[in-house]
Amino acid sequence: MDNYVRIFDTTLRDGEQSPGASMTSAEKIEVARALARLGVDIIEAGFAAASPDDLEAIRRISREVSKIAGARGEPPVICSLARANKGDIDKAWLAVQDAPRPRIHTFLATSEIHMKYKLKMDPEEVVDRVVNMVGYARSLCTDVEFSPEDAGRSDPKFLYVVLEQAIKAGATTLNIPDTVGYTTPDEYGALIRGIVENVPGVENVILSTHCHDDLGLATANTLAGIRNGARQVEVTMNGIGERAGNTSLEEVVMALQTRRPVYGLNTGIDTTHLVRVSRLVSNYTSIVVPPNKAIVGANAFAHEAGIHQDGMLKNQETYEIMRPETVGAQNTRLVLGKHSGRHALKARLLELGYELSDADLDKAFERFKTMADKKKVITDADLEALVSDELLQSHEFYKLDDMQVASGTIGMPTATVRLIGPDGQKRAVAAIGTGPIDAVYKAIDQIVQVPATLLEFSVHAVTEGIDAVGEVSVRVSANELPGKTMTYAETERVRSYGGYGADTDIIVASAKAYLSALNKVLITSRGGD
Ligand code: KIV
Ligand code: ZN
């Protein structure tokens, strides 16, 4: 068994299945690029059969992300999920075949409850289907992963049979999902150990973990899997995913690195990118990272209690097991000032991992100059907020042109909003609300006319100080999409949409966030961006 743990990132597939986390193709490509630079070994770019948009996004990632080499000098493997049927497998292959290193990942449930009630198949039929579909996938692609869904609740003896047959049919990676996050670390470790000891041929394939966090045990289970022989881990940035989410990439990577004497294992991750990629994913999915989240939370390296601060001043290791700069959490002050040029900005953005087109760079530069006029000190975090905001706005149907708000203790809060529509026409509307943000949102609603309900709204400052950039994340629900009949799978997946906006004025940031969520509804209804 080697001492390298492959990082299989499923932020764009299982992560995107989090309620409201749907991203546009442009956002997915940006995230895939960031993951490649972070050094992940495999990117599960989506579920090609879910919709034509998903298939197209995976195709684009397969072509565009292949130029970025990771830790081992190779581009990441690009993978698509597929149910165990020919139609799904064909779509998965179509989506990934242009990648220099493609993979098809197919799955079929093996627990009694799933086989009986969901699949309505008996165990023999399941084994036959696995043999046929893994074999079919292998006839198309040399890299095939098989997952027995709900392995955590499957009979281990049956699992051994299914896995042995999957290997014989050509699977090169066997992934063991704890689909409902039910197992404990001892149980999950024993499950992996049992597979290592009882499945003929397992020594020729890679064993993988895939843990969900329903009991808050996903990271512990994943580490138990590694200790017992797994050499691939399926993880997401910030732990986003179905229900309580998946295992957090950053937690597993930093546990392996910080406790190397215990595990003796390596990954190819450049940990200094972790916080940046975490912010990018949070901005694009509008899933806010809790301040106390391990590794990437805003408080992960903050020391409040006097006794801790005193200890830190004497020796940082008293209360710090990792240095903030190891994960890119230091709030680096941008060495650029308001007199810096476009080249300096471009170079800094490249260092931060953003490769902007000339047009996007021009807009970012304009915004940077405006921000530098308002704020004396610009941090990397400010710059990341600015670029996320700019990239989001640049792919939108409706853009904010201007707005003015009157509010206070007397009278009715009123907002006048002017938007540029998809046809380039400007339209201005005024509205009254219960507060300034309500008034702005009512004015936007009158122009955009998407039937949506605001579900969540949160605002936070990117850095300290009165002049801080404010970031706003919203989530809206839109059960019907204007002018589009959706398949069942689409209705299931697209019920809520996140939006993100950043500005030194939080009412402007709020308007941008709401507009970006409505734009996502429109982009989905018109089939891609
Ligand atoms: O949780 C799960 O079982 C999955 C599989 C499709 C791999 O996500
Ligand atoms: Zn999963």
pLDDT of 468 reads 76
For residues 249 and 177, membership in a common domain is answered with: yes
Whether 295 maps to a domain, the answer reads: no
pLDDT in tens, 157-181: 999 999 999 999 999 999 999 999 9
> Does ligand 1 have an atom closer than 6 angstroms to the CB of 14?
yes
> Does ligand 1 have an atom closer than 6 angstroms to the CB of 365?
no
CA distance 213 to 215: 5
Q: Taking the model in full, what pTM does it have?
A: 0.86
> Does ligand 1 have an atom closer than 6 angstroms to the CB of 107?
yes
Q: CB under 8 Å to 309, separation ≥6 — which residues?
A: 303
Using the mean position of ligand 2's atoms as its centre, give its distance from the Cα of residue 15 in Å: 8
DSSP 71: T
For residues 131 and 190, membership in a common domain is answered with: yes
Angle CA 142–148–153, to nearest 5: 160
Domain count, the chain: 3
pLDDT of 419 reads 95
User: Which domain range does residue 310 map to?
Assistant: 302-378
Whether 86 maps to a domain, the answer reads: yes
pLDDT of 523 reads 76
Whether 458 maps to a domain, the answer reads: yes
Contact 218, 180 (CB under 8 A): no
CA distance 148 to 211: 13
Which residue in 50, 38, 62 sits closest to 141, CA to CA? Answer: 62
For residues 332 and 261, membership in a common domain is answered with: no
With the most atoms of ligand 1 within 8 angstroms of its CB, the residue from 146, 149, 188 to mutate is 149
Task: At 422, list the tokens.
Answer: 């998809």
pLDDT of 376 reads 66
Burial class (CB in 10 A: 0-12, 13-18, 19+), 73: exposed
The upper half-sphere exposure of residue 433, i.e. CA atoms within 13 Å in the direction of its Cβ, equals: 21
> Does ligand 1 have an atom closer than 6 angstroms to the CB of 39?
no
For residues 127 and 213, membership in a common domain is answered with: yes
For residues 251 and 143, membership in a common domain is answered with: yes
For residues 23 and 147, membership in a common domain is answered with: yes
For residues 246 and 351, membership in a common domain is answered with: no
CATH number at residue 219: 3.20.20.70
> Does ligand 1 have an atom closer than 6 angstroms to the CB of 154?
no
- Tell the residue nearest (CA) to atom 8 of ligand 1: 14
**The last residue of a domain, from among 235, 251, 285:** 285
Which residue in 331, 251, 234, 236 sits closest to 31, CA to CA? Answer: 236
Whether 291 maps to a domain, the answer reads: no
Helix (H, G, I), strand (E, B) or coil at 400: strand
**Beta strand pairing call for 77-83 and 173-178:** unpaired
How far are the Cα atoms of 153, 171, 290 from residue 202, in angstroms, in the given order? 20, 10, 39
pLDDT of 488 reads 46
User: Which segments of the chain have a pLDDT < 50?
Assistant: 488, 492, 494, 529
> Does ligand 1 have an atom closer than 6 angstroms to the CB of 497?
no
For residues 255 and 309, membership in a common domain is answered with: no
How far are the Cα atoms of 376, 388, 461 from residue 465, in angstroms, in the given order? 11, 21, 9
